Amino acid sequence: MKVNGRDMRATWWIEDGVAYIDQRRLPHALEIGVAASVEEVARAIEDMAVRGAPAIGVFAGYGLALAAKLGDDLGAAYERLARTRPTAINLWKGLDTVRGACAAASKTLRARATLATARAFDDAEVAAGEAIGTHGLALFRQGTRVLTHCNAGWLAVQDWGTALAPVYRAHRAGMEPFVYVDETRPRLQGARLTTWELAQEGVRHALIADNAAAHLMQRGMVDLVITGSDRVAANGDAANKIGTFGKACAARQAGVPFYVAAPISTFDPGTASGADIPIEERSDDEVLFVEGVDESGTARRVRVAPEGTAVFNPGFDVTPHELISGIITEVGIVRATAEGVAEALNRAKA
Protein backbone atom coordinates (compact mmCIF):
# COMPACT_ATOMS: atom_id res chain seq x y z
CA MET A 1 0.00 0.00 0.00
CA LYS A 2 1.13 3.53 -0.61
CA VAL A 3 1.72 6.10 2.13
CA ASN A 4 2.07 9.58 0.74
CA GLY A 5 2.72 7.97 -2.63
CA ARG A 6 5.46 5.60 -1.33
CA ASP A 7 5.05 1.79 -1.24
CA MET A 8 5.31 0.56 2.35
CA ARG A 9 4.76 -2.54 4.43
CA ALA A 10 4.07 -2.55 8.17
CA THR A 11 7.49 -4.03 8.91
CA TRP A 12 10.62 -4.81 6.87
CA TRP A 13 14.20 -6.02 7.20
CA ILE A 14 17.05 -3.49 7.12
CA GLU A 15 20.80 -3.75 7.65
CA ASP A 16 20.57 -2.72 11.33
CA GLY A 17 17.62 -4.84 12.38
CA VAL A 18 13.89 -4.90 11.72
CA ALA A 19 12.16 -1.65 10.79
CA TYR A 20 8.49 -1.05 11.47
CA ILE A 21 5.81 1.61 11.28
CA ASP A 22 5.16 2.53 14.91
CA GLN A 23 1.40 2.00 15.03
CA ARG A 24 1.18 3.66 18.45
CA ARG A 25 1.96 7.02 16.84
CA LEU A 26 -0.59 6.86 14.02
CA PRO A 27 -2.60 8.71 12.83
CA HIS A 28 -0.88 11.78 14.27
CA ALA A 29 2.67 10.93 13.16
CA LEU A 30 4.26 8.44 10.77
CA GLU A 31 7.28 7.26 12.74
CA ILE A 32 9.58 4.41 11.78
CA GLY A 33 11.05 2.34 14.61
CA VAL A 34 13.99 -0.04 14.39
CA ALA A 35 14.30 -3.14 16.58
CA ALA A 36 18.00 -3.94 16.78
CA SER A 37 17.75 -6.94 19.14
CA VAL A 38 15.36 -9.78 19.87
CA GLU A 39 14.34 -8.02 23.08
CA GLU A 40 13.40 -4.90 21.10
CA VAL A 41 11.34 -6.97 18.67
CA ALA A 42 9.55 -8.61 21.61
CA ARG A 43 8.84 -5.28 23.31
CA ALA A 44 7.50 -3.76 20.07
CA ILE A 45 4.99 -6.62 19.88
CA GLU A 46 4.05 -6.41 23.56
CA ASP A 47 3.60 -2.62 23.39
CA MET A 48 1.65 -2.99 20.13
CA ALA A 49 3.98 -0.80 18.09
CA VAL A 50 3.51 -3.69 15.65
CA ARG A 51 0.13 -5.37 15.96
CA GLY A 52 -2.42 -7.35 13.98
CA ALA A 53 -2.19 -11.13 13.71
CA PRO A 54 -0.33 -11.62 10.39
CA ALA A 55 1.96 -8.62 10.97
CA ILE A 56 3.19 -9.94 14.33
CA GLY A 57 3.85 -13.34 12.71
CA VAL A 58 6.00 -11.71 10.04
CA PHE A 59 7.74 -9.41 12.54
CA ALA A 60 8.50 -12.30 14.92
CA GLY A 61 9.89 -14.27 11.97
CA TYR A 62 12.25 -11.39 11.19
CA GLY A 63 13.06 -11.29 14.93
CA LEU A 64 14.30 -14.88 14.75
CA ALA A 65 16.30 -14.05 11.61
CA LEU A 66 17.85 -11.19 13.60
CA ALA A 67 18.77 -13.61 16.38
CA ALA A 68 20.50 -15.82 13.80
CA LYS A 69 22.38 -12.83 12.38
CA LEU A 70 23.52 -11.71 15.86
CA GLY A 71 24.56 -15.23 16.80
CA ASP A 72 22.05 -15.34 19.69
CA ASP A 73 20.78 -18.56 21.22
CA LEU A 74 17.92 -19.36 18.83
CA GLY A 75 15.98 -21.43 21.34
CA ALA A 76 15.99 -18.58 23.85
CA ALA A 77 15.03 -16.08 21.11
CA TYR A 78 12.12 -18.31 20.05
CA GLU A 79 10.91 -18.61 23.67
CA ARG A 80 11.12 -14.84 24.26
CA LEU A 81 9.21 -13.98 21.08
CA ALA A 82 6.61 -16.70 21.67
CA ARG A 83 5.78 -15.17 25.09
CA THR A 84 4.82 -11.76 23.69
CA ARG A 85 1.11 -12.21 22.92
CA PRO A 86 -1.02 -15.32 23.45
CA THR A 87 -4.04 -15.12 21.14
CA ALA A 88 -2.97 -14.72 17.50
CA ILE A 89 -1.71 -18.08 16.23
CA ASN A 90 0.13 -16.29 13.40
CA LEU A 91 2.91 -15.48 15.89
CA TRP A 92 3.82 -19.17 16.15
CA LYS A 93 3.28 -19.71 12.42
CA GLY A 94 5.95 -17.08 11.73
CA LEU A 95 8.31 -18.39 14.41
CA ASP A 96 7.91 -22.06 13.47
CA THR A 97 8.35 -21.37 9.76
CA VAL A 98 11.59 -19.48 10.32
CA ARG A 99 12.85 -21.91 12.98
CA GLY A 100 12.50 -24.63 10.37
CA ALA A 101 15.33 -22.93 8.44
CA CYS A 102 17.67 -22.81 11.46
CA ALA A 103 19.23 -26.22 11.00
CA ALA A 104 22.05 -25.01 8.69
CA ALA A 105 25.44 -25.74 10.22
CA SER A 106 27.51 -22.56 9.97
CA LYS A 107 26.43 -19.25 11.50
CA THR A 108 26.61 -17.45 8.14
CA LEU A 109 24.52 -20.05 6.34
CA ARG A 110 21.99 -20.12 9.18
CA ALA A 111 21.65 -16.34 9.12
CA ARG A 112 21.10 -16.40 5.34
CA ALA A 113 18.62 -19.27 5.49
CA THR A 114 16.52 -17.76 8.29
CA LEU A 115 16.36 -14.37 6.58
CA ALA A 116 15.38 -15.90 3.24
CA THR A 117 12.63 -17.88 4.99
CA ALA A 118 11.39 -14.84 6.93
CA ARG A 119 11.22 -12.88 3.67
CA ALA A 120 9.35 -15.69 1.91
CA PHE A 121 6.88 -15.89 4.81
CA ASP A 122 6.35 -12.11 4.58
CA ASP A 123 5.71 -12.28 0.82
CA ALA A 124 3.32 -15.22 1.28
CA GLU A 125 1.26 -13.23 3.78
CA VAL A 126 1.08 -10.31 1.35
CA ALA A 127 -0.03 -12.65 -1.44
CA ALA A 128 -2.65 -14.19 0.88
CA GLY A 129 -4.09 -10.75 1.66
CA GLU A 130 -4.27 -9.91 -2.03
CA ALA A 131 -6.07 -13.20 -2.78
CA ILE A 132 -8.49 -12.62 0.12
CA GLY A 133 -9.34 -9.35 -1.59
CA THR A 134 -10.02 -11.12 -4.87
CA HIS A 135 -12.28 -13.76 -3.31
CA GLY A 136 -14.07 -11.30 -1.03
CA LEU A 137 -14.89 -9.02 -3.95
CA ALA A 138 -17.71 -11.44 -4.86
CA LEU A 139 -19.63 -10.15 -1.80
CA PHE A 140 -19.68 -6.56 -3.09
CA ARG A 141 -22.13 -4.67 -5.29
CA GLN A 142 -22.03 -1.00 -6.32
CA GLY A 143 -22.01 1.13 -3.15
CA THR A 144 -21.95 -1.77 -0.64
CA ARG A 145 -21.93 -0.50 2.94
CA VAL A 146 -19.54 -2.51 5.11
CA LEU A 147 -19.05 -2.40 8.85
CA THR A 148 -15.69 -3.45 10.29
CA HIS A 149 -14.19 -3.72 13.74
CA CYS A 150 -10.61 -3.05 14.86
CA ASN A 151 -7.95 -2.77 12.16
CA ALA A 152 -7.67 -5.68 9.75
CA GLY A 153 -6.08 -3.67 6.97
CA TRP A 154 -2.57 -3.48 5.60
CA LEU A 155 -1.04 -2.28 8.86
CA ALA A 156 -2.17 -5.56 10.44
CA VAL A 157 -1.12 -7.74 7.49
CA GLN A 158 1.89 -6.04 5.85
CA ASP A 159 -0.11 -5.12 2.72
CA TRP A 160 -3.74 -5.34 1.52
CA GLY A 161 -5.17 -6.62 4.81
CA THR A 162 -7.78 -9.25 5.56
CA ALA A 163 -11.17 -7.60 6.23
CA LEU A 164 -10.15 -4.50 4.28
CA ALA A 165 -8.58 -6.31 1.30
CA PRO A 166 -11.98 -6.86 -0.44
CA VAL A 167 -12.86 -3.23 0.33
CA TYR A 168 -9.70 -2.03 -1.41
CA ARG A 169 -10.41 -4.34 -4.35
CA ALA A 170 -13.97 -3.02 -4.63
CA HIS A 171 -12.73 0.55 -4.38
CA ARG A 172 -10.16 0.04 -7.13
CA ALA A 173 -12.85 -1.61 -9.26
CA GLY A 174 -14.89 1.60 -9.05
CA MET A 175 -17.64 0.08 -6.88
CA GLU A 176 -17.50 2.93 -4.35
CA PRO A 177 -17.82 0.90 -1.13
CA PHE A 178 -18.62 2.74 2.09
CA VAL A 179 -17.12 1.61 5.40
CA TYR A 180 -18.51 2.15 8.90
CA VAL A 181 -15.48 1.96 11.20
CA ASP A 182 -16.03 0.90 14.81
CA GLU A 183 -13.73 2.99 16.98
CA THR A 184 -12.72 -0.20 18.91
CA ARG A 185 -12.18 0.66 22.54
CA PRO A 186 -9.93 0.53 24.41
CA ARG A 187 -6.95 0.79 21.99
CA LEU A 188 -9.02 2.49 19.28
CA GLN A 189 -7.48 0.63 16.36
CA GLY A 190 -10.52 1.57 14.27
CA ALA A 191 -10.40 5.28 15.12
CA ARG A 192 -6.62 5.56 14.82
CA LEU A 193 -5.60 3.08 12.14
CA THR A 194 -8.51 1.98 9.97
CA THR A 195 -9.66 5.55 9.33
CA TRP A 196 -6.08 6.51 8.44
CA GLU A 197 -5.68 3.62 6.03
CA LEU A 198 -9.01 4.24 4.33
CA ALA A 199 -8.22 7.93 3.96
CA GLN A 200 -4.83 7.07 2.38
CA GLU A 201 -6.68 4.92 -0.18
CA GLY A 202 -9.51 7.42 -0.68
CA VAL A 203 -12.20 4.97 0.46
CA ARG A 204 -15.42 6.59 1.73
CA HIS A 205 -15.96 5.92 5.42
CA ALA A 206 -17.44 7.15 8.70
CA LEU A 207 -16.13 6.52 12.20
CA ILE A 208 -18.78 5.31 14.64
CA ALA A 209 -18.77 4.77 18.40
CA ASP A 210 -18.65 1.06 19.16
CA ASN A 211 -22.08 1.31 20.75
CA ALA A 212 -23.65 2.57 17.50
CA ALA A 213 -23.04 -0.54 15.39
CA ALA A 214 -26.16 -2.52 16.37
CA HIS A 215 -28.36 0.52 15.80
CA LEU A 216 -27.00 1.00 12.28
CA MET A 217 -27.59 -2.65 11.44
CA GLN A 218 -31.13 -2.53 12.85
CA ARG A 219 -31.88 0.52 10.68
CA GLY A 220 -30.76 -1.23 7.49
CA MET A 221 -27.66 0.94 7.06
CA VAL A 222 -25.18 -1.95 6.81
CA ASP A 223 -25.10 -4.51 3.96
CA LEU A 224 -22.21 -6.60 5.19
CA VAL A 225 -19.97 -6.99 8.24
CA ILE A 226 -16.37 -8.15 7.67
CA THR A 227 -13.84 -8.54 10.47
CA GLY A 228 -10.42 -10.13 10.71
CA SER A 229 -9.45 -12.91 13.08
CA ASP A 230 -6.54 -13.79 15.33
CA ARG A 231 -7.25 -17.51 15.43
CA VAL A 232 -9.77 -19.75 13.71
CA ALA A 233 -10.39 -22.96 15.65
CA ALA A 234 -10.96 -26.38 14.05
CA ASN A 235 -14.75 -26.02 14.33
CA GLY A 236 -14.83 -22.55 12.67
CA ASP A 237 -15.10 -20.45 15.85
CA ALA A 238 -13.06 -17.27 15.39
CA ALA A 239 -11.26 -15.12 17.96
CA ASN A 240 -10.93 -11.45 17.14
CA LYS A 241 -10.67 -8.08 18.86
CA ILE A 242 -12.93 -7.66 21.88
CA GLY A 243 -16.36 -6.50 20.72
CA THR A 244 -16.47 -8.62 17.56
CA PHE A 245 -18.82 -11.21 19.09
CA GLY A 246 -21.32 -8.46 19.92
CA LYS A 247 -21.29 -7.25 16.30
CA ALA A 248 -21.94 -10.81 15.12
CA CYS A 249 -24.94 -11.12 17.48
CA ALA A 250 -26.35 -7.82 16.23
CA ALA A 251 -25.75 -8.84 12.61
CA ARG A 252 -27.62 -12.11 13.09
CA GLN A 253 -30.56 -10.30 14.75
CA ALA A 254 -30.67 -7.73 11.93
CA GLY A 255 -30.23 -10.27 9.11
CA VAL A 256 -26.88 -8.79 8.01
CA PRO A 257 -24.26 -11.27 6.70
CA PHE A 258 -21.23 -11.51 8.99
CA TYR A 259 -17.97 -12.65 7.37
CA VAL A 260 -14.54 -13.29 8.85
CA ALA A 261 -11.53 -12.70 6.58
CA ALA A 262 -8.40 -14.63 7.53
CA PRO A 263 -5.37 -16.19 5.84
CA ILE A 264 -4.59 -19.87 6.37
CA SER A 265 -1.83 -18.77 8.78
CA THR A 266 -4.65 -17.79 11.17
CA PHE A 267 -6.20 -21.29 11.11
CA ASP A 268 -5.37 -23.45 14.10
CA PRO A 269 -6.60 -27.02 13.59
CA GLY A 270 -4.88 -27.93 16.87
CA THR A 271 -7.42 -25.88 18.82
CA ALA A 272 -10.73 -27.73 18.88
CA SER A 273 -13.06 -24.80 19.54
CA GLY A 274 -13.14 -21.16 20.55
CA ALA A 275 -13.36 -22.13 24.22
CA ASP A 276 -9.77 -23.38 23.96
CA ILE A 277 -8.33 -20.15 22.50
CA PRO A 278 -6.26 -18.22 25.07
CA ILE A 279 -7.62 -14.72 25.51
CA GLU A 280 -5.06 -12.02 26.25
CA GLU A 281 -5.74 -9.74 29.20
CA ARG A 282 -4.10 -6.36 28.86
CA SER A 283 -3.23 -3.58 31.27
CA ASP A 284 -5.80 -1.61 33.27
CA ASP A 285 -4.32 1.62 31.90
CA GLU A 286 -5.72 0.92 28.42
CA VAL A 287 -9.21 1.35 29.87
CA LEU A 288 -8.46 3.98 32.53
CA PHE A 289 -6.73 6.42 30.17
CA VAL A 290 -7.21 7.71 26.64
CA GLU A 291 -4.36 8.98 24.51
CA GLY A 292 -4.43 11.47 21.66
CA VAL A 293 -3.25 14.92 20.66
CA ASP A 294 -4.60 18.23 21.88
CA GLU A 295 -5.49 21.18 19.65
CA SER A 296 -1.84 22.18 19.38
CA GLY A 297 -0.91 18.68 18.21
CA THR A 298 0.85 17.78 21.47
CA ALA A 299 0.45 14.15 22.57
CA ARG A 300 -1.62 13.81 25.75
CA ARG A 301 -2.72 10.95 27.94
CA VAL A 302 -5.71 11.66 30.14
CA ARG A 303 -7.47 9.68 32.84
CA VAL A 304 -11.18 8.96 32.23
CA ALA A 305 -12.17 6.99 35.37
CA PRO A 306 -11.62 7.75 39.06
CA GLU A 307 -8.27 6.77 40.54
CA GLY A 308 -8.42 3.33 42.09
CA THR A 309 -11.13 2.04 39.73
CA ALA A 310 -10.87 -1.72 39.22
CA VAL A 311 -10.62 -2.85 35.61
CA PHE A 312 -11.00 -6.06 33.62
CA ASN A 313 -9.57 -5.76 30.12
CA PRO A 314 -9.84 -8.84 27.88
CA GLY A 315 -8.29 -8.07 24.49
CA PHE A 316 -10.25 -10.58 22.39
CA ASP A 317 -13.49 -12.51 22.23
CA VAL A 318 -14.71 -15.52 20.29
CA THR A 319 -17.48 -15.48 17.71
CA PRO A 320 -19.18 -18.88 17.58
CA HIS A 321 -19.13 -20.43 14.10
CA GLU A 322 -22.94 -20.45 13.93
CA LEU A 323 -22.90 -16.67 13.66
CA ILE A 324 -20.34 -16.56 10.83
CA SER A 325 -21.71 -16.53 7.25
CA GLY A 326 -18.35 -17.63 5.82
CA ILE A 327 -14.59 -17.28 6.14
CA ILE A 328 -12.84 -15.43 3.31
CA THR A 329 -9.41 -16.99 2.79
CA GLU A 330 -6.75 -16.90 0.09
CA VAL A 331 -8.09 -20.24 -1.19
CA GLY A 332 -11.70 -19.09 -1.44
CA ILE A 333 -14.67 -18.48 0.84
CA VAL A 334 -15.38 -21.48 3.05
CA ARG A 335 -18.11 -22.31 5.54
CA ALA A 336 -17.36 -21.69 9.22
CA THR A 337 -17.68 -25.35 10.14
CA ALA A 338 -15.25 -28.18 10.84
CA GLU A 339 -15.74 -29.30 7.21
CA GLY A 340 -15.13 -25.78 5.90
CA VAL A 341 -11.94 -25.39 7.94
CA ALA A 342 -10.68 -28.79 6.76
CA GLU A 343 -11.52 -27.88 3.16
CA ALA A 344 -9.56 -24.62 3.40
CA LEU A 345 -6.54 -26.40 4.88
CA ASN A 346 -6.68 -29.09 2.19
CA ARG A 347 -6.95 -26.54 -0.61
CA ALA A 348 -3.96 -24.67 0.85
CA LYS A 349 -1.89 -27.88 0.87
CA ALA A 350 -2.81 -28.79 -2.73
Kindly list the catalytic residues.
230
Least distance in angstroms from the C-beta of 105 to ligand MRU: 37
Pairing between β-strand 258-261 and β-strand 224-227 as defined by DSSP bridges = parallel
Residue 248 sits in the site that holds ligand MRU (CB under 6 A): no
Site membership for ligand MRU, residue 51 (CB under 6 A): yes
Phi-psi region of 330 (alpha: psi -120 to 50; beta: other; left: phi over 0): alpha
Q: How far is the CB of 87 from ligand MRU (least distance, A)?
A: 8
CA angle 262/243/332 to nearest 5° reads 15
Q: Are 133 and 328 in contact (CB under 8 A)?
A: no
8 A C-beta contact, residue 146 and residue 180? yes
Q: Minimum distance from CB of 266 to ligand MRU (Å)?
A: 7
Q: Which residues, 6+ apart, have CB-to-CB distance to 61 below 8 Å?
A: 94, 95, 97, 98, 117, 118, 121, 122
The answer to whether the CB of 67 falls within 8 A of the CB of 80 is no
Rounded Cα distance between 50 and 48, Å, is 5
Q: Select the span of 50-58, 103-111, 139-147, 300-308 touching ligand MRU (CB under 6 A).
A: 50-58
99 binds ligand MRU (CB under 6 A): no
**Does residue 21 interact with ligand MRU by CB under 6 A?**
no
Pick between residue 97 and residue 162 the one whose CB is nearest to ligand MRU. Answer: 162
Name which of residues 306 to 325 contact ligand MRU (CB under 6 A): 315
| Contact between 265 and ligand MRU per CB under 6 A | no
Interface with ligand MRU: number of residues (CB under 6 A): 17
42 touches ligand MRU (CB under 6 A): no
Q: Check whether the bond before 177 is cis (ω within 30° of 0).
A: no
In the bound state with ligand MRU, the residue whose beta carbon lies nearer, of 102 and 146, is 146
Taking CB under 6 A as the criterion, the residue among 84, 97, 144, 240 binding ligand MRU is 240
Closest by Cα among 197, 228, 148, 205 to 2: 197
Contacts of 176 (CB under 8 A, 6+ apart): 142, 143, 170, 204
54 binds ligand MRU (CB under 6 A): yes
Q: Does 189 bind ligand MRU (CB under 6 A)?
A: yes
Q: Which amino acid makes up residue 168?
A: Y
Tell me if 53 contacts ligand MRU by CB under 6 A.
yes
- Among 300, 210, 295, 218, CA closest to 255: 218
**Distance of closest approach, residue 208 Cβ to ligand MRU, in angstroms:** 16
**Full strand arrangement of the beta sheet holding 32-35:** 11-14, 17-21, 32-35
| Nearer of residues 157 and 213 to ligand MRU, judged by Cβ | 157
Choose the binding region for ligand MRU from 93-101, 119-127, 194-202, 223-231 (rule: CB under 6 A).
223-231
Contacting range for ligand MRU; rule: CB under 6 A; set: 12-20, 49-57, 100-108, 173-181:
49-57
Between residues 114 and 227, which has the closer beta carbon with respect to ligand MRU? 227
Sites for ligand MRU among residues 141-160 (CB under 6 A): 150, 152, 156-157
Should residue 94 be labelled a site residue for ligand MRU when binding is judged by CB under 6 A?
Answer: no
Cβ atoms within 10 Å, residue 146: 25
**In the complex, residue closest to ligand MRU by CB:** 228
Report yes or no: 55 and 160 within 8 Å, Cβ to Cβ. Answer: no
- Contact residues toward ligand MRU (CB under 6 A) are 51-54, 88, 150, 152, 156-157, 162, 189, 228-230, 240-241, 315
